[in-house]
Amino acid sequence: MLDAKLVSKSHSAHQTVVRLSEQVAIGGQDVVVIGGPCAVESLAQMEQVAATLSTSSVHALRGGVYKPRTSPYSFQGLGVEGLKVLAEVRDRYHLPVITEVMSIAQIEPVAAYADMLQIGSRNMQNFELLKALGTVHKPILLKRGLSATIEEFVMAAEYVMAHGNPNVVLCERGIRSFDNYTRNVLDLGAVVALRQITHLPVIVDPSHAAGKRELIPDLARAAIACGADGLIIECHPVPDQSVSDARQALSLEDMVDLVSSLQPVAAAVGRRLVKQEVGEALIAA
Amino acid sequence: MLDAKLVSKSHSAHQTVVRLSEQVAIGGQDVVVIGGPCAVESLAQMEQVAATLSTSSVHALRGGVYKPRTSPYSFQGLGVEGLKVLAEVRDRYHLPVITEVMSIAQIEPVAAYADMLQIGSRNMQNFELLKALGTVHKPILLKRGLSATIEEFVMAAEYVMAHGNPNVVLCERGIRSFDNYTRNVLDLGAVVALRQITHLPVIVDPSHAAGKRELIPDLARAAIACGADGLIIECHPVPDQSVSDARQALSLEDMVDLVSSLQPVAAAVGRRLVKQEVGEALIAA
Amino acid sequence: MLDAKLVSKSHSAHQTVVRLSEQVAIGGQDVVVIGGPCAVESLAQMEQVAATLSTSSVHALRGGVYKPRTSPYSFQGLGVEGLKVLAEVRDRYHLPVITEVMSIAQIEPVAAYADMLQIGSRNMQNFELLKALGTVHKPILLKRGLSATIEEFVMAAEYVMAHGNPNVVLCERGIRSFDNYTRNVLDLGAVVALRQITHLPVIVDPSHAAGKRELIPDLARAAIACGADGLIIECHPVPDQSVSDARQALSLEDMVDLVSSLQPVAAAVGRRLVKQEVGEALIAA
Amino acid sequence: MLDAKLVSKSHSAHQTVVRLSEQVAIGGQDVVVIGGPCAVESLAQMEQVAATLSTSSVHALRGGVYKPRTSPYSFQGLGVEGLKVLAEVRDRYHLPVITEVMSIAQIEPVAAYADMLQIGSRNMQNFELLKALGTVHKPILLKRGLSATIEEFVMAAEYVMAHGNPNVVLCERGIRSFDNYTRNVLDLGAVVALRQITHLPVIVDPSHAAGKRELIPDLARAAIACGADGLIIECHPVPDQSVSDARQALSLEDMVDLVSSLQPVAAAVGRRLVKQEVGEALIAA
């Protein structure tokens, strides 16, 4: 990986810590959990999600407002209306919010409302979008492409950094395989490798990897055990009524239970998973 | 493939024929060959390519001016300067030109100069770009994603059509596999399937599939034999000096030889491969 | 491929021709077609197959008597009874017969009845079986493993040759991919590569690659166009009643039609596809 | 998975526990670690391995004496001489030994010396071998094929059970992907799924998955965190001098360190990893 300059461990002696808010940062000793639905559907839905998750060790909210859908006839997201929902919930519950941008034109509105901008798997090598996000003053969550090699993934982050934005978090979310029992194959070997190759934080999305909710808790625990800096997990007040990816959404109760179960695993590998307020003090220390 | 409406055979009784110029159309009885370098490097280079290919049964020129490169430090293309080169060569040699667009902002300049706009593999599910190309009055060459399923490929074309542009040509260019002896695996089964599922023309890019020039002629002949409506093949005046993809570029002489060898194969499956002038008369008939 | 000694082009100046009978040989100028059902079901079935195919340019019969099945509860083949059926049909119709061996213990009975022994995809790296087949005085049809690299495939042939049997025919039959629209992905790039790397004949099985009968004829023509030395295709008197792989079996009529359509394609690439009697004279010449 | 009868959870209300010796069993509350070199090279080598590992929480030894090698010219294993080495070391250090069988003929000698018989990835669908192992009175370690689906893997175990042997342990060891940074992709989603589908123990081989020793410890911890019943890990007194798979062998010191680090992870998910003597008492309890 000769061309991996800015992202590589040899470039930066320290581990990058990407800050989402005063209280939340990814890449330090504390493991971070991001939760929320596949798509923002309504203020009531997001209120319910935030109210429940804010009582647990969940540190940030996710929710798509611009949705990359295989079919042009599927729900494409609430757009700006959804961004306003995210901002309102963020302000009320003090949880930073993350949402996806699919085009250069969406960067300005999303950056105005969200705390972190996600590049989805299908856009991992949308190089013009990567360049444009290099000029944004918000952190970037870069998801691995459906069949991107580790080298291509790292070089996509290099694009963002080379254009000026050093705050990139990598996200492994499963790769394509020959077996359709799981939606994708979670590649934790890539997580381990990325943490050795780069100084950027690496988080894991077990929801899109598994595609089946009953597989997610065990995979989430495995991700923490192998050194991931955090998790992004889909959950919904009524999973079966989710407008998209219903099969992989956890109920809010299952999400809270899962997060609790992560704490001893984090401790077993020398990390911590704590509620935001405690986290704030420690990160500041 | 329930959502495949506009692209599906059941929607349109006739086979779509996509016209690139008065003389050249893809999807009719005549097999079409598109040739040219990976990247437009200079006017002299493109002159040499066009001068040689225009003596053979090559019907259109390709050449990238906006290049999707894994590394941000690799040559990114000549941009508008390259578009002017393409237009100049097109006017002199009467060969329509095809080049890739990587973002919505590039659509306007590319559409002003080129006869067909290519969506590259890495942007096959760049849905905002697909939507924007739906409003363009130029034909679209849609390349299959690196690991796109046939359904996803068809649905990407549906995006363009649903947004108003019926002139879409599909291009199989190899998919990712576990074996790196070839760069990708040319999936001719997909070509056969696509021609049964859709009414859109389907062409084949054996260059990116093989990644090694010595494999290309046999694969090109196979593509015609299985029913492809055309080929897009990389060639260069001095292949080893190509700024990108040098290993898979044919010399111009080898390209001319290959095109000659395609004629009996086309005839063997009830198609024709002819020089443009002859083609013109026939298409008009 | 440093260890590929006996199989490599540098080892043998000439192209290997593997003889199945006095009349039939694979690897010469004549393209060879092998046809028959997935499994031998009865003498009546095989009689019907042979009677029809022997009127066309089909040169050999296939039919499994030991069947590798994913489930232990599926039909496992007729065994020795099936071998006797194959031998009886062979003697009556003068078509050599090919069938699979799944273990060392099956080699002796199969070699006693069949003209060529097939190693199936699942046993491509059953090294003890490969070694044992190296000592057999019958030609071997070696099918590529489900996800074998080209190098592993070539080295499996090297095992057979290194143990004494030079008469190996390689068979590409599709590899695993992420897309389940086709059963496997036919890798014709591997066919082209194998013919450049080795001096062994290479044939193609479009039936297992496609898994859907409507895709097979176009893929068979593509295989011949890219230089394959032959084809092995599944067909059945009543495809929908086939005890296995029913979805990919051609009817006997469709098989005869397909074989006819191959002749001009073979001619287009400098090969011939002829009936056995004519073939005999030419091979001898 | 309709045909998965004997292996499925619905068939057996309890979790199967497979006993390797009086002291060691796989599938209970205690996590089991199997360690040793890729190949048995000498008595001195195995003595050194056993002497070191027996001081840690390693419960069984592995070491190949019949080696499936891609090339017929690579070291093929010590055969019966190696079996005697394994038995001698087993008796001296009271660690059960596991080794691979590659053919039916090897079953008798291997079963005479070893405590568990391994079916390697390349033989996962060697159905005649599976059937023969169904009649053996020793437990079976069944490794997942290079690109076997979960269903195919489960059905391979069904073959062994249907032929009479209920003592089967499944082993995930990585599957083939498009990325060659790691040797294979460790599919922990399959481990989670297998534990939900079947009542058989499931262990993980991070060595063959990663192919690089620096990735192994993190993956081993992830495997325990997601619920695996054990691990099989390659280690060698002088890794760089290993006759095979040198790049993935841990030093004995690193192996001991790794095993220590697993204990808190096991505890975090309600399992235990203990030395054999303690384990004996608990299993008996």
Flag whether pLDDT at D237 surpasses 80: yes
Flag whether pLDDT at C277 surpasses 90: no
| Planar angle of CA C208, C190, A147, nearest 5 degrees | 85
C264 to chain D, minimum CA–CA distance in Å? 37
Q: Which residues, including other chains, have CB under 8 Å from residue C273's CB and lie 6 or more apart? A: C30, C31, C33, C57, C224, C259, C262, C263, C266
**Residues of chain A contacting residue D229, judged by C-beta atoms under 8 Å apart:** none
Flag whether pLDDT at A281 surpasses 50: no
Mutate to test the interface with C, among B188, B257, B271 (most CBs of C within 10 A): B188
Interface of B with A (CB under 8 A): 3, 5, 68-74, 102-106, 122-123, 125-129, 131, 145-147, 151-152, 155, 158-159, 162-163, 176
Mutate to test the interface with C, among B178, B181, B205 (most CBs of C within 10 A): B181
- What pLDDT, on the 0 to 100 scale, is given for residue D2? 63
Let me know if residue A153 belongs to a domain. Answer: yes
- Give the whole-angstrom CA distance, residue A34 versus residue A20: 11
Q: Which helix (H) or strand (E) holds B98?
A: strand B97-100
Mutate to test the interface with A, among B11, B103, B104 (most CBs of A within 10 A): B103
Nearest CA in chain B to C177: B177
8 A C-beta contact, residue C120 and residue C68: yes
Mean pLDDT of B87-101: 97
Quick one: tokens of A213? 């909710």
Who wins on pLDDT, B281 or C263? C263
Flag whether pLDDT at C281 surpasses 70: no
Nearest CA in chain B to A119: B126
Identify the chains in contact with B, defined as 3+ C-beta pairs within 8 A. Answer: A, C, D
pLDDT digits over B201-252, tens only? Answer: 999 999 999 999 999 999 999 999 999 999 999 999 999 999 988 899 999 9
Let me know if residue B8 belongs to a domain. Answer: no
Phi, psi (deg, nearest 5) at residue B36: 150, 175
Total number of domains constituting chain B: 1
Q: Which amino acid is at D60?
A: A
A231 to chain B, minimum CA–CA distance in Å? 25
Flag whether pLDDT at D84 surpasses 90: yes
Contact A222 D218 (CB under 8 A): no
Q: Which residues, including other chains, have CB under 8 Å from residue A284's CB and lie 6 or more apart? A: none
Mutate to test the interface with A, among B107, B122, B135, B178 (most CBs of A within 10 A): B122
Flag whether pLDDT at B253 surpasses 50: yes
Mean pLDDT of D167-189: 97
- Give the whole-angstrom CA distance, residue C118 versus residue C173: 13
Buried b (16+ CB within 10 A) or exposed e, A73-92: eeebbbeeebbbbbebbbee
Let me know if residue D8 belongs to a domain. Answer: no
**What CA–CA distances, in Å, run from A234 to A29, A85, A184, C278?**
23, 17, 15, 67
Quick one: tokens of A52? 């429940």
What is the extent of the structural domain holding A37?
A: 18-284
Nearest CA in chain D to B182: D178
What is the share, in percent, of chain D residues with pLDDT greater than 90? 91
Quick one: tokens of B61? 């020129």
8 A C-beta contact, residue C114 and residue C83: yes
Q: Which helix (H) or strand (E) holds C118?
A: strand C116-119
pLDDT digits over C51-99, tens only? Answer: 999 999 999 999 999 999 999 999 999 999 999 999 999 999 999 999 9
Mean pLDDT (chain B) is 95
CB count, 10 Å around CB of D260?
12
Let me know if residue A191 belongs to a domain. Answer: yes
Q: Which helix (H) or strand (E) holds D92?
A: helix D80-93
Contact D176 B176 (CB under 8 A): no
Quick one: tokens of C116? 């060529």
Buried b (16+ CB within 10 A) or exposed e, B118-135: bbbbbbbbbbbbbbbbbe
pLDDT digits over A3-44, tens only? Answer: 889 999 988 778 999 999 999 999 999 999 999 999 999 999
CATH code at position A75: 3.20.20.70
- Give the whole-angstrom CA distance, residue C114 versus residue C92: 14
8 A C-beta contact, residue D226 and residue D192: yes
What end-to-end distance do the CA atoms of chain D give, in Å? 36
Per-position DSSP letters for D125-161, written without gaps between them: T-HHHHHHHTT-SS-EEEEPPTT--HHHHHHHHHHHH
pLDDT digits over B162-193, tens only? Answer: 999 999 999 999 999 999 999 999 999 999 99
Contact A189 D182 (CB under 8 A): yes
Contact D222 A225 (CB under 8 A): yes
pLDDT band per the 50, 70, 90 thresholds, residue A127: very high
8 A C-beta contact, residue D270 and residue A265: no
Contact C71 D123 (CB under 8 A): no
- What pLDDT, on the 0 to 100 scale, is given for residue B91? 96
Mean pLDDT of B34-46: 98
Flag whether pLDDT at D94 surpasses 50: yes
Which residue has 């001195």 as its token pair?
Answer: D44
Q: Which helix (H) or strand (E) holds B19?
A: strand B18-19
B88 to chain C, minimum CA–CA distance in Å? 36
- What pLDDT, on the 0 to 100 scale, is given for residue D275? 86
Contact A151 D181 (CB under 8 A): yes
Let me know if residue B4 belongs to a domain. Answer: no
CB count, 10 Å around CB of D163?
15
**Residues of chain D contacting residue C131, judged by C-beta atoms under 8 Å apart:** 72
pLDDT digits over C226-263, tens only? Answer: 999 999 999 999 999 999 888 999 999 999 999 999 99
Let me know if residue B62 belongs to a domain. Answer: yes
Mean pLDDT (chain C) is 95
Let me know if residue D11 belongs to a domain. Answer: no
Flag whether pLDDT at D283 surpasses 80: no
- Give the whole-angstrom CA distance, residue D106 versus residue D129: 10
3-class DSSP state for residue D69? coil
* CA-closest candidate to residue B34, choices B24, B43, B44, B42: B24
D272 to chain A, minimum CA–CA distance in Å? 13
3-class DSSP state for residue B30? strand
Let me know if residue D256 belongs to a domain. Answer: yes
Contact C126 D127 (CB under 8 A): no
Mean pLDDT (chain D) is 95
pLDDT band per the 50, 70, 90 thresholds, residue A245: confident
Flag whether pLDDT at D65 surpasses 60: yes
Nearest CA in chain D to B184: D178
